[in-house]
Chains A and B, each alone.
Chain A
Amino acid sequence: MNFRQLTLLMLTIVSGSLVSGLYAITRDQINNNREQFEEKQLDAVVNDDLLTLTKVDETHYTLTNVDSAAGSVTLITTQDGYNGVITLWVATDEVGDIRGVRTASHRETPGIGDIIEHEVSAWIDQFAETAEPVDIVSGATITTRAVINAVNNHLDDSFTEDSSVREKPNE
């Protein structure tokens, strides 16, 4: 082995150990951050401090109020958006009334379809007021309709009683 190969080998070993060393130190912290971030998102969907979240699997959480069951939070997906898959967290109570809906991921057009993000607009808060029909947004018809349909399908699949959200009729 000559000097050049030795240099390259040594540098590779040093770099590799630096990266894996830092990863080993921060791994717990990073996992912790990720869980906290997810919990924060879920708390925002449920929007009720009294309820406890229990994880069933990656896409399903149950809600309990002290001892009694108080509903569930489910990750649903739809392909009907303008650009790729939209995933949504939907929190419901026991009879199928919506506690809240939040967009988990989407690839809708920035500035148009991204109104379904809570950070961008309060549009998605309308779901929490179940008595009221939800607005379709002009310019983002496909996106908003996809979200409403996805939530409706979820409610139809999970609950017998008809509690679907209605689109606001044209005036």
Chain B
Amino acid sequence: MNDYLSITKDGLWSNNPALVQLLGLCPLLAVSNTFVTALGLGLVTLLVLTAANMIISLLRNLLHDAIRLPVQILIIATLVTLADIALQSWYFELHQRIGLFVALIVTNCTLLGRAEVFASRNPLLASMIDGITMGLGFLWVLLIMGTAREIFGHGTLFHNLHLLFGDKDVTLHFTDTGFLLMALPPGAFLTLGCLIALKNYLEMRRRERGKTLSVPN
């Protein structure tokens, strides 16, 4: 049980794919300019990552070293293509916005990284939990960046959310003119930089507090 806890903590915080491993930056920077695109791609990544981890973990005893990498890529590419087709048939308008980046999930190093480092060496349940938590770790960073960049860059929040859930338009409008830099790619680097700095600051403070507590009087 402790193992699963530490896997969860790894994925969500201490070894977060976006904040610590800095993997998958390309989709992270590209789709984080609005909340909806961030949520859409984050969910697709979460699903594909979990499924890929589970399948690779099931096959791990079959796979000889010589064919392990090609098989992992094959499985990831298959799952991404399936997800892409599914999106086109159920969420067509969302696909019009993030379609380009769905195909790029194949090259998202988070997936191959987890497959190679974790799933090909660990049993099914652990791999599944690793996939879910790594995916959620990626998702929450994406959502925070999407929220911040949409509010500051476009002056709105939840614009187009009806593309994912139902028909109701729930857009919140703050201003008509956003701060352009945040909507452009540099805004993504700035937001991510701030998030990493914040995380490191929190970690540092916790370590220092730990130190003062453990020093005997």
Which A residues are closer than 8 A to B by beta carbons?
3-4, 7-8, 11-12, 15, 18-19, 22-23, 26, 29-30, 33-34, 36-37, 110-112
B178 at the interface (CB under 8 A from A): yes
Chain B residues contacting A29 (CB-CB under 8 Å) are: 89
B75 at the interface (CB under 8 A from A): yes
Task: Provide a sorted-by-A list of 8 A–B residue pairs whose CB atoms are within 8 angstroms.
Answer: A3-B64, A4-B66, A4-B67, A11-B74, A33-B88, A111-B178, A111-B180, A111-B184
Chain B residues contacting A33 (CB-CB under 8 Å) are: 88-89, 92
The verdict on A11 contacting B88 (CB below 8 Å), with A4-B66, A4-B67, A19-B82 known, is: no
Chain A residues contacting B107 (CB-CB under 8 Å) are: none
Considering the chains assembled together, what is the distance between the CA atoms of A112 and B64 in angstroms?
53
Q: Is the interface of B mostly helix, strand, loop or mixed?
A: helix
B71 at the interface (CB under 8 A from A): yes
The verdict on A8 contacting B81 (CB below 8 Å), with A15-B75, A37-B93 known, is: no
Chain B residues contacting A110 (CB-CB under 8 Å) are: 33, 183-184
Please state if B178 and A7 are interface contacts (CB–CB under 8 Å). no
Considering the chains assembled together, what is the distance between the CA atoms of A52 and B59 in angstroms?
56
Name the one of A19, A26, A112 contacting B180, with C-beta atoms under 8 angstroms: A112
A-B contact sample (17 more), CB < 8 A, given A7-B71, A26-B85, A36-B92: A4-B67, A7-B62, A7-B64, A8-B67, A11-B75, A15-B77, A15-B78, A19-B78, A19-B82, A19-B85, A26-B88, A33-B88, A37-B96, A110-B183, A111-B153, A111-B184, A112-B180
Q: How far is the CB of B73 from chain A (nearest CB, A)?
A: 11
Q: How far is the CB of A123 from chain B (nearest CB, A)?
A: 12
B86 at the interface (CB under 8 A from A): yes
Q: How far is the CB of A120 from chain B (nearest CB, A)?
A: 9
Name the one of B75, B89, B93 contacting A26, with C-beta atoms under 8 angstroms: B89
Chain A residues contacting B74 (CB-CB under 8 Å) are: 11-12, 15
Considering the chains assembled together, what is the distance between the CA atoms of A3 and B64 in angstroms?
9
Please state if A7 and B67 are interface contacts (CB–CB under 8 Å). yes
B20 at the interface (CB under 8 A from A): no
Chain B residues contacting A12 (CB-CB under 8 Å) are: 74
Please state if B96 and A18 are interface contacts (CB–CB under 8 Å). no
Q: How far is the CB of A113 from chain B (nearest CB, A)?
A: 11
Docked complex: B37-68 residues within 8 A CB-CB of A: 59, 62-64, 66-67
Chain A residues contacting B183 (CB-CB under 8 Å) are: 110-111
Of all chain A residues, the one with the shortest Cβ separation from B177 is A111
